Amino acid sequence: MTDKAGLARFGALGPAEIVMVDGIGTGKSDRIGAGGLPDAGDETCRVRADLVRFLLLGHPDAPRMHEKGLRLSGAWITGVLDLEGCRVPRDIGLLDCRFERTPVLRSAIIDTLAFDGSDLPGFDANRLEARGDLLFRGATVRGPVSLTGSRIGGDLVLDGSTLDYAEGSACVAERCAVRGGVFLRGATVAGRFALPGARIGGDLDLTGATLHRADGMVLDSDSVQVEGDVVLRVAVITGGVSLVTAQVGGDVNLTGAQISHPGDMAAHLDRTVVKGALFLRKGARINGTLSLNGANLGAILDDPACWPAKGDLRLNRCLYGALLGGAIEARTRLDWLARQTPERWGEDFWPQPYEQLAAVLGQMGHDEDKRRVLVTKERLARRARRRRARNPLTRLRLALIDGLMGLTVGYGRKPLRAMFWILLIWVTGTGVYAHLDDEGALRPNAPVILRSPEWVLCATPAGTGTTLASVGQNREGLARPAETQLACYRRQPEASAYPKFNAAMLSADALLPGLGGGQVNYWSPDTRSEIGNAGKWFMYFQTAAGVALGLLAVAGFSGIVKTN
């Protein structure tokens, strides 16, 4: 038996207390009864908190504690275990114990502290300094856990625990420094779990956890610094998750997570820096707003179906290095960006998400998808500009200009499209001029030919006389019955010396002067007929279109017509 001198102050010891005192120097785990969680009021398992404190602090008249520390399970601990400001140089293991009152360890200095499987009404340990781990595995805490300003040299582990304080903050670890990781794998939290400004040397891991808060942020981790990963794999979260301005050295993994905060901020990661990747896939669902405004992500690994609904996505100023493991094609990614509705947030358009997507697609070698994204960005930016214009005439003018820019050069993003239009107009012109030639609705474009006897006489039927004013003579006409003036002229020997008509070259010359070898100087639609007059107006259109399209192509290549 251990010498009980010095214990007299506690009077008669209960059976559980005798077991604890007898085993204090053995280094073995002392089990009270079966060692399981006792019922409140069970006197056979009752241990006074003051007695535990007396043994932990190691007074001269107290039994000597083994180097392994205190290991007790199955006790009903009554009173307040008050270790505020104390230094306990041994591990403390109070496993499967039921606490009558909230333990107080404010400003205490301890080694490892374990409450695995225990039931506590709370835990008050602001500014606690633990050189080892702080363990609540499988524990139930029915009040607030206070760890503000604490320092933990190992891990903070709440795997499988239940934190139940729905009316307030179930756990507050503001500015807490954890050298290892913070683990809530499979935990259940009712109330706010707060880690603002905390520094975590390992992972923040909530794999399979269930968090619930009726209103507001349930996981409040603004400005947290996590050297490892932030893991919410298959977690079920009701309420908001906030990681604003967080610094994450690894990944943010939302694979399979279910986050629900409808009509409000479900996942708030504004200005968060993630050196690894953001995972959002395998059935992940976000019901509420996901905000990544100003975030900086190493990469995104996603399933587009997992992103929130239209109106609940914010990506303005979000930077990311690559798109991995998900769809790359522009159509799918544009649908992703279209889930943003800047109007909801008081703005008309966010161009940067489109520029960022295009840059990433370009870096990944998807140049055609990049151009499609940029064209869409230009179209939406110009639409927003038209909406800002107050004058209806200004809006109409801008609409016409924007429509022209889009059709001809893809708002400057596809300048080669102008060449397609030039080719189309050239082919159309070739057909028009060939038809005019068939209808005899062309004429030589040289004044000397138009005044020549051959041309003039071909306008008069054979057998009919006419006066040639240029030579002062009466001559008989040359045109055969139903023969056009042009066909008649071409039969004359004098016409053999005149340049031959070529519909394709005339079309090229009208469209881009000089390309047709001067055909426009020799041939022109005959405006004396309706079809010839229409052909002349088409030639005017060709010339204007050629100049305009040429200038637009140059402007497109130079970037002048882009909105930025």
Residue 409 is classified by DSSP as H
Q: Please report which helix (H) or strand (E) contains residue 267, including its range.
A: strand 258-268
Does residue 520 belong to any structural domain of this protein? yes
Does residue 462 belong to any structural domain of this protein? yes
- C-alpha–C-alpha distance, residues 326 and 299, integer Å: 11
Does residue 160 belong to any structural domain of this protein? no
Residues 6+ apart with CB under 8 A from 151: 128, 129, 130, 176, 177
pLDDT of 302 reads 94
Residues of the chain with pLDDT under 50: 1-3, 564
Question: Domain residues for 539?
Answer: 417-552
Q: Please report which helix (H) or strand (E) contains residue 191, including its range.
A: strand 188-194
Listed residue (242, 137, 152) closest to 187, CA to CA: 137
pLDDT of 563 reads 52
Contact 441, 485 (CB under 8 A): no
Contact 96, 74 (CB under 8 A): yes
Contact 234, 261 (CB under 8 A): no
- C-alpha–C-alpha distance, residues 75 and 96, integer Å: 7
Does residue 329 belong to any structural domain of this protein? no
Last residue of a domain, which of 100, 133, 152?
Answer: 100
- C-alpha–C-alpha distance, residues 553 and 560, integer Å: 10
Helix (H), strand (E), coil (C) string for 276-305: EEEEECCCCEEEEEEECCCCEEEEEEECHH
Last residue of a domain, which of 71, 100, 129?
Answer: 100
pLDDT of 414 reads 74
Helix (H), strand (E), coil (C) string for 488-503: HHHHCHHHHHCCCCCH
Q: What count of residues does the chain have?
A: 564
Last residue of a domain, which of 100, 125, 153?
Answer: 100
Domains contained in the chain, number? 2
Instruction: Map residue 127 onto helix, strand or coil.
Output: coil
Does residue 110 belong to any structural domain of this protein? no
Contact 524, 538 (CB under 8 A): no
Does residue 510 belong to any structural domain of this protein? yes
Q: What is the pTM of this model?
A: 0.79
- C-alpha–C-alpha distance, residues 362 and 370, integer Å: 6
Kindly list the distances between the CA atom of residue 467 and the CA atoms of 309, 362, 453, 493, in Å, as whole numbers in the listed order.
Answer: 84, 74, 10, 21
pLDDT of 214 reads 85
Does residue 403 belong to any structural domain of this protein? no
pLDDT of 379 reads 87
Contact 477, 460 (CB under 8 A): yes
pLDDT of 24 reads 84
Record the tokens describing residue 196, joined without a space.
């603002």
Write out pLDDT tens, residues 472-496. Answer: 677 788 888 888 888 888 888 888 8
Q: For the range 373-379, what are the long-range contacts, defined as Cβ-Cβ under 8 Å and sequence gap of 24 or more?
A: 373/330, 373/333, 373/334, 374/413, 375/406, 375/410, 375/411, 375/413, 375/414, 376/330, 376/334, 377/351, 378/405, 378/406, 378/410, 378/411, 378/412, 378/413, 378/562, 378/563, 379/406, 379/411
Write out pLDDT tens, residues 416-452. Answer: 777 888 889 899 999 999 999 999 899 998 888 888 8
Record the tokens describing residue 251, joined without a space.
């990944």
Does residue 427 belong to any structural domain of this protein? yes
pLDDT of 3 reads 46
Strands 313-314, 442-444: pairing kind: unpaired
pLDDT of 555 reads 66
Query: If you compute the radius of gyration of the chain from its CA atoms, what whole number of angstroms results?
Result: 43
Contact 279, 253 (CB under 8 A): yes
Kindly list the distances between the CA atom of residue 97 and the CA atoms of 171, 188, 332, 487, in Å, as whole numbers in the listed order.
Answer: 20, 19, 55, 115
- C-alpha–C-alpha distance, residues 341 and 335, integer Å: 12
Residues 6+ apart with CB under 8 A from 304: 326, 327, 332, 333, 335, 336
pLDDT of 1 reads 39
pLDDT of 562 reads 55
